Every structure is written in structure tokens, then in C-alpha cells.
Structure 1
Amino acid sequence: MPDTKPLRRDARDNAARLRAAALEIFLAKGLGAPLEEVARAAGVSIGTLYNRFGTREALIDAVIPDVAGARLKALGADVLARPTVRERLEAFVHGMIELQSRDPALNDAILRRYPDAVALLGICEHSTALGNDLVREAHREGVLSPDFTEDDLQALVWLAGIASREPHAPKGWQQTIERALAAAWT
């Protein structure tokens, strides 16, 4: 368990370097990047990392929620600015694919690879709720097939997350997701 007493100056500096290194490495390589690499980049031992943060999830929660929250909030604002529910839902799917494709850390967060990173999980739940709200709204307006469920939307997002990071994913996976969404409209 990490210490909770006030830190000495050198310990505060170590923690700050660990947070900076973790942010850089997680954003580049994903949340599963080796913690030894984070410690090395910060110029401290792996023991110092665990002493300060206790677990990978605690380190993730110390550095990723602000970045993930800002990116997902921007996506949400863009989505909600669209005039029709169809445009909003399509913008949501396209935006999630774009975020997952270019940001390994956010992709890991969206896929909930580290469910014990509670702060990060909460941020991702807001995006899930937005997507689910859009599906329900499209159903109410009668523009989305009743057969297309919230689970289907989450499956498309999950598939995009897996395929975007997999070097051997079938070519055209994005078009497959597009076709699945297009087929769901009434």
C-alpha cells in the first residue's frame, strides 16, 4: 500500500518524475507498458514506483484520467453538437474508432483492461452511457432497428479497439463496422 504521510522533497520529486514518465510511456505504448520501463525513465527503482503508487492501477489513476477525460469530453461535445440522432450515433462510433486507433492508453481504458483503475473506469462509463443514450434515442425516434441494442454498440466499440491494436487484423475491419452500423438504420 502506498505511503500516505507527507513526502520529503526528494520523494515528491520522484513521484512527479514517475507520473511524467508513466504518462509519456502509457500514451505511447498503452497501459500495459512495463512498469520497469516507467521506473527507468523516471530514474528511480521499481521499488520506488511501487512504494509511491502501490499498484499499476493506482499509477494509471494518477496519470491517465485527466487526459482520457479531456479526450472523451471533447468527443462527447462533438457528438452532441450534431443535429440528428443518426449523425450523433455515427459521430460517436467514428470518434471512438479514431480515439482507439491513435491512442493506445485510451484504447486500453475504453476496453476496460484495468477495471481496478476506478477513476479511469468512471470516466469511461460516461462515454458508455452517452453511446447507450444515443441508441435509446434512436429507438424512440424509430430510426434504428429495435434489433440493434446497446450491447451491439458496445460490441462495435470493443471490436474496433481490438482490431485497431492488432497487427494481423483483417483488412477492412473499419468498413465492416461501418456496414454493421449502416445495416442497423431503418
Structure 2
Amino acid sequence: MARVFSAVDIEDEDVLDQLEKTQERLNLGFNTVPREKMHITLEFFEDVNEKQIDKIKRSIRNIQIDSFQASINGVGAFPSEDYMRVVWAGLKAPEIFRLKKQVSTHGVTSQDQNSFTPHITLLRVQDINPKRKRKLQKHIDEYREHSIADFEVNKVKLFESVLTENGSKYRILEEKKL
């Protein structure tokens, strides 16, 4: 059984630089997401077998969308700004919803329980005291509408996420150019 996810990988170095700058401005000593792991998750699957992975790969190969422009704009927090576990940068591109729909035609049940909010995780928040929480909320409010970068969405990838004692390692299982 494997952990896999379909995603738009952020590969543009200039965009990654801008995401890191935003990350630095928001970070109050939390766990940052390394630039090589910055992506927009389309779907996440906790325990899937090879047959299910093949179905997901097939849905990725069958995508019929051209590449499109997207804007990384604003920041927010999951599950809420009162109870922050993840600080993220938002993605604005109407086509991302069509892309997600096409990627999701495989019939395999994903772990996604919430509505799709396209985003790039910047920070993972743990053990936040009230003072740091207020400061982080203020930073989020300041960057809520901040334009971070524009980029072309031109690929979808299926990654396997292997948990190790040093964190997760990603391995590309499938890739589709748009």
C-alpha cells in the first residue's frame, strides 16, 4: 500500500524564490516547506494498491486541458485562522478546477474531505502560543491580497510520498504535459 498524490509541481525558480520570500516574512519559527516540495495538491490518497495507482495514472494520461496561466495571490491558514496548522499561498486560476475534475475521473477514493482550495503550503504550525498566534494572524492579514507570482501550469504529476525518519521523500510515478 502506498501514499500518493496528484499535483501541479512548482518548478519555476523565480516563482520558488518569491514563495520563499513570502515564507520568510510569515515564519515565526515554524516548520517551513522546502522549495523542492512546493506544489498544488489536486488529490491525496493514503493507502492505495498498484491497481488503484494504475487507475490514477490513466486518469492523468487522459487529461485534455491545455497549459494555462495561474497567479499565486494572498495567504491564509487551514483549518482556520483561529486554529492554524498550515499557512498557505493561494492560487487563482479558474482552469485549476477543470484540471482537478479531469484528474479525478479514476474512481479511486481519496482522503480529500474538504472542498478543493488550490494552495501551496508554506508553513506547518505547531504549539503556537497566544502572542505568536496574534503576530502570525497580523502577518496573514497583511499578505491576504499580496500578489506573489504568476506562472504557467503546464504539467501534472503523480507522486509517491514515502515516509522516512528524515521526513517524506517524493518519487514521480507519472507525468503529463498539458
TM-score tier, shorter chain, comes to under 0.3
TM-score normalised over the length of structure 2: 0.24
Q: Which has the higher contact order (CA 8 A, sep 6+)?
A: 2
Determine which structure has the larger helix proportion and give its number.
1
TM-score normalised over the length of structure 1: 0.23
Determine which structure has the larger strand proportion and give its number.
2
